Amino acid sequence: MKSGDIIMFTTEKDIPNLNYNYNNFHFSISEKENESEFDIKLKQAWEKAQKDGVFRYLLNISSWRILEGPYRLLVQLNPDRAFKRRAPEHITTMLQPFDPTRFNFTKLSKSEIMFKIENEDDSDIIAVNVSPTEWCHSLLIIKYLQCLPQSITWYSLQKAIEILLLSSSPYFRIAFNSLCAFASVNHLHWHLYYLKHNMVLEYIDVQPYQGSLFLLENFPSKGFCFKLSSSKKIETFVSSIFSLVNYLQKNQIAHNVYVTRAKTINSKEVYDDVRAYVWARKSHFDVKNTTLFNSAACEFFGHIFVKTEEAYQNLTESTIAKILESVTEQPYLLIKKDLHKIM
């Protein structure tokens, strides 16, 4: 394998295998989208699945707008996701075990799986999300035949960061919803997608706390931010994030995670950082209401999906801000109080 190459080859099951090493990572990228080989392969595979009729519906963002206000929240109208997606799993506790009788990713058809990341029976896979919210909406499913519940492992967090670094697009994003935080399937997975909008959390000022950990307090969703630029090494970055996430999991505190490219200085024309936002939040115990706007990882980032024309027309920044703050502020303050012990 040559340095800098991503080698794609076909296995005997006709599922391409994705191999990569450290030399394939892009730590600094232009603000002008310049696709890596990974970006090209992912988009080609996703578009083929769409052409082949794999999805429950063709992605149709019928309307979008940036709301007036300092947070520049992006609101998109996507009614198909509300009414044509698979019914979410009924989640009642963060300790809910994997249930083989419910839908899980071992039941995916071969046409839904785009790549295997390791050529093993228990390999990680990247599959299309058949109910997409954005362009190339895909799922990174970790050791999918081991049937792990939706709880972040150190390994899965590292894989998510690595996949982000394979992309040279500033618009490539990764998100995670825990149980009781709008996870739809209790089978370990991360969301991958491209969002071609410049977002405030790519550059907003965050308050230094310790090492790579910063505090996000001047945004409606109050939370914690980890910056790769402050740790320099992927393993150190992952370990810092996992220290907090593992605490939340052990204490059954629902949470959402969002990983994005970022700028150390907004005026730069280069994305020279990666930010991982972690939000502790109030638990959502019941089956999600698929006709309203949900407060999950993307929404905390400022990317708001709405499912009805009425919500799209009437939502304002102040209304959304109050909802996001009401879900995150109290858990944030409780965690912040004990942060010196956790980290």
Residues with a known catalytic role: 189
Q: Is the dihedral of CA 210, 211, 216, 217 positive or negative?
A: positive
Q: What is the 3-state secondary structure (H, E, C) of 19-35?
A: ECCHHHCCCCEECCCCC
Give the contacts of 234 (CB within 8 A, at least 6 positions apart). 25, 158, 161, 162, 165, 228
Q: Give the span between the Cα atoms of 138 and 112, in whole angstroms.
A: 10
CA 163, CA 38: separation in Å to the nearest integer?
A: 9
The whole-angstrom separation of Cα 12 and Cα 300 is 41
Cα separation, 40 vs 23, whole angstroms? 18
Q: Given 3-state DSSP classes, what are the helix, strand and coil percentages for the chain, each rounded to the nearest 5?
A: 30, 25, 45
CB 69 within 8 A of CB 299: no
Q: Two tokens at 304? A: 């708001």
289-to-234, 286, 313 alpha-carbon distances in Å = 37, 9, 19
CA distance 197 to 286: 32
Q: What's the order of all strands across the beta sheet hosting 74-77?
A: 63-66, 74-77, 303-306
Pairing, β 113-116 against β 125-128 = antiparallel
Distances (CA, A) of 298 to 96, 133, 147, 194, 302: 23, 10, 25, 12, 6
